[in-house]
C-alpha cells in the first residue's frame, strides 16, 4: 500500500548534505550524502558510539560538539558516545573527508578508525570481537565490554553501515559465533576488504605484544606495523605508533641502526596519536617529550645518527634537552618559525602544515595561544587553496571564542 502522504522531495539547496558541504566548503562522498539526506543521524545506535550529531548542530556558528584546541582543527564530530568522545571526520587538503578517527576527550588523543564512516561504525561494533586485550583507547587498564554481535545486527547504524560495505563483512559478522575460533577470521576479512585497516592492525599489534602467555612476539608485531606503514606512509602524523613498534622490534634483535632510523621517523609524529598509553611505553616525560626521543638519546650514546637531517636533529634537541625550561613553548615556537619561513617562500601548504604542528605536536600553551594559531591556520589554508580546511579551522576558532571569549 502506498503512502498517502509521502514526504515532499527537497531541492538540492535544502538537503542537509548540500548545506553542510557549503558550510564547510567540502565535497561529500555518496556515502555521506546518504547518511545526511536519508537522515540516518536520527537513529540511536546500540554500541559505544551511539549518538549521531544532528547536522543542525554542525551548521551552527559555533557547534557545541567541537572541542576547540583539544580537537585538531581539521576535525568535524559525527557520532558521540555520551561520555565526551567522538568519531570525527578529518578534512584533507583536497577538501574531502580523508579519514574518520576515534577522538578521546581525556587528552585529545586520536586513532584512525577508517577512511569512510561505515568502516568506523563497523569497527565500533566488532572491535571487542577481534584478537587482543580489548583495552579502551588511551586507557590501558580499562577493558571494553563485549556485546553480542547478534544484538548489534539490530543496531540501525550497523545496518546502514553494512549496506554500504561488501556483503562478505556481513557474512563474517554473522559467522562470529565463537570468538575464540573466529576472531582471527573476522580480522582477516576486515583487512582483506580494507575496512578500518589501521585500527584492526593496532588490535593485532596489541595482541602480539601483550598475549595471555605474557611473552611478546616482537617479530609478529613488526610484520603487522610494516604493512600498515607501507599502505599509509603519507599519513605519518596519525601513525607514529607504527614506527615506535617497528623500532622496538629492531632494537630487541640488536639492529640498532635500523632502530635509530625508525625512531627518527616516529619523532616526526604527533604526541596525540602515538598511542603510548595503550602500548605502555615507559619513559621519564619530564626529561623527554616523546618516547622516540627518549630512546634515541639512549641509543645515540653508543651509536651515531648519520641519516638524520637538520630538521630531525633540531626536534630531537627540543624534545630532549634538559636546558629548555618550557619545552612545549619551545616546540610551538619552532614550528611557528618554520611556518613563517615556508610562507615567505610562498609554500602556503607547508606553512599551514607546520602551524598545525605548532598546535598539535606536543600541544600549545597557554590555551589562549590557540586563538592566534587557529586564525593563521585558517588564513594559510585559504591561501593554499584548501577551502575545506580553512572553513573547518575558522569554525574551530568561532568555537574557541564562544567558549573562552576573545582576547
The number of C-alpha atoms within 13 Å of 274 and in the hemisphere containing its C-beta is: 25
pLDDT at 334 over 90: yes
Put the strands of the sheet holding 51-52 in their side by side order.
51-52, 75-80, 86-91, 97-104, 109-114
Give the number of other CB atoms < 10 A from CB of residue 266: 25
Mean pLDDT of the chain: 88
What domains can you pick out in the chain, each with its CATH number? 324-407 (1.25.40)
Give the whole-angstrom CA distance, residue 203 versus residue 183. 11
Between CA 182 and CA 193, with CA 188 as vertex, the angle to 5 degrees is 130
- What confidence score (pLDDT) does residue 179 get? 56
Helix, strand and coil percent figures for the chain, each rounded to 5? 50, 10, 40
- What confidence score (pLDDT) does residue 288 get? 82
Top-confidence residue, 284 or 273 = 273
> What radius of gyration do the chain's Cα atoms show?
22
pLDDT at 177 over 70: no
Summarize pLDDT for 336-373 with one digit per residue, the tens: 999 999 999 999 999 999 999 999 999 998 899 999 99
Contact 358, 373 (CB under 8 A): yes
Summarize pLDDT for 290-315 with one digit per residue, the tens: 999 999 998 887 667 777 889 999 99
Top-confidence residue, 232 or 265 = 265
Contact 267, 316 (CB under 8 A): yes
Give the whole-angstrom CA distance, residue 68 versus residue 402. 10
Summarize pLDDT for 265-274 with one digit per residue, the tens: 999 999 998 8
CB neighbour list of residue 148: distance below 8 Å, 6 or more residues apart: none
The number of C-alpha atoms within 13 Å of 206 and in the hemisphere containing its C-beta is: 25
DSSP 8-state secondary structure symbol assigned to residue 365: S
Give the whole-angstrom CA distance, residue 105 versus residue 83. 9
- What confidence score (pLDDT) does residue 1 get? 38
CA torsion through residues 398, 399, 400, 401, sign = positive
- Grade residue 4 by pLDDT with cuts at 50, 70 and 90: very low
Give the whole-angstrom CA distance, residue 281 versus residue 43. 39
Contact 324, 315 (CB under 8 A): no
CB neighbour list of residue 216: distance below 8 Å, 6 or more residues apart: 208, 209, 210
Percentage above 90 pLDDT, the chain: 68
- Grade residue 7 by pLDDT with cuts at 50, 70 and 90: very low
With cell 632510523, the residue in question is: 261
Burial of residue 70 (CB within 10 Å: 0-12, 13-18, 19+) is buried
Contact 42, 51 (CB under 8 A): no
For range 241-264, the mean pLDDT: 93
Contact 144, 220 (CB under 8 A): no
- pTM of the entire predicted model: 0.91
- What confidence score (pLDDT) does residue 149 get? 65
Closest among 309, 311, 282, 275 to 298, alpha carbons compared: 282
180-184, 191-195, 228-232, 263-267: which has the highest mean pLDDT? 191-195
Amino acid at each position: 500500500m502506498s503512502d498517502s502522504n509521502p514526504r515532499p522531495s527537497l531541492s538540492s539547496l535544502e538537503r542537509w548534505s548540500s548545506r553542510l558541504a557549503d558550510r564547510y566548503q567540502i565535497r561529500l562522498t555518496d556515502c555521506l550524502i546518504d547518511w545526511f539526506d536519508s537522515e540516518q543521524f536520527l537513529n540511536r545506535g546500540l554500541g559505544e558510539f551511539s549518538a549521531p550529531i544532528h547536522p543542525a548542530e554542525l551548521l551552527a556558528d559555533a557547534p557545541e560538539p567541537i572541542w576547540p584546541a583539544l580537537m585538531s582543527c581539521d576535525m568535524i564530530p559525527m557520532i558521540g558516545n555520551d561520555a565526551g568522545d567522538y568519531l570525527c571526520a578529518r578534512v584533507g587538503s583536497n577538501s574531502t573527508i580523508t579519514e574518520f578517527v576515534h577522538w578521546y576527550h581525556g587528552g585529545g588523543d586520536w586513532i584512525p578508525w577508517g577512511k569512510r564512516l561505515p568502516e568506523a561504525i563497523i569497527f565500533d561494533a566488532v572491535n571487542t570481537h577481534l584478537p587482543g586485550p580489548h583495552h579502551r583507547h588511551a586507557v590501558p587498564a580499562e577493558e571494553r565490554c563485549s556485546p553480542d554481535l547478534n544484538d548489534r545486527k539490530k543496531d540501525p547504524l550497523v545496518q546502514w553501515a553494512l549496506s554500504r560495505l561488501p556483503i562478505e563483512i556481513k557474512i563474517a559478522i554473522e559467522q562470529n559465533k565463537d570468538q575464540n575460533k573466529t576472531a582471527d577470521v573476522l580480522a582477516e576479512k576486515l583487512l582483506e576488504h580494507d575496512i578500518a585497516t589501521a585500527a584492526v592492525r593496532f588490535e593485532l599489534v596489541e595482541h602480539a605484544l601483550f598475549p595471555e602467555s605474557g611473552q611478546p612476539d616482537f617479530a609478529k608485531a613488526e610484520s603487522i606495523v610494516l604493512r600498515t606503514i607501507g599502505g599509509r606512509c603519507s599519513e605519518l602524523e596519525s601513525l607514529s605508533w607504527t614506527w615506535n613498534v617497528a623500532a622496538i622490534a629492531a632494537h630487541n634483535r640488536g639492529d640498532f641502526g635500523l632502530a635509530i632510523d625508525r625512531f627518527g621517523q616516529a619523532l616526526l609524529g604527533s604526541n596525540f596519536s602515538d598511542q603510548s598509553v595503550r602500548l605502555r611505553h615507559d619513559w621519564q616525560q619530564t626529561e623527554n617529550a616523546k618516547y622516540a626521543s627518549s630512546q634515541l638519546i639512549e641509543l645515540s650514546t653508543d651509536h651515531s645518527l648519520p641519516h638524520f637531517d637538520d630538521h630531525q636533529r633540531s626536534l630531537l634537541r627540543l624534545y630532549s634537552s634538559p636546558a629548555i625550561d618550557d619545552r612545549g613553548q619551545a616546540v610551538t615556537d619552532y614550528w611557528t618559525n618554520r611556518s613563517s619561513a615556508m610562507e615567505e617562500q610562498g609554500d602556503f601548504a607547508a606553512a599551514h602544515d607546520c602551524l598545525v604542528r605548532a598546535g598539535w605536536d606536543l600541544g600549545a600553551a597557554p590555551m589562549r595561544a590557540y586563538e592566534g594559531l587557529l586564525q593563521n591556520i585558517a588564513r594559510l589554508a585559504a591561501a593554499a587553496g584548501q577551502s575545506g580546511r580553512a572553513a573547518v579551522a575558522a569554525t574551530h576558532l568561532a568555537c574557541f571564542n564562544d567558549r573562552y571569549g576573545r582576547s
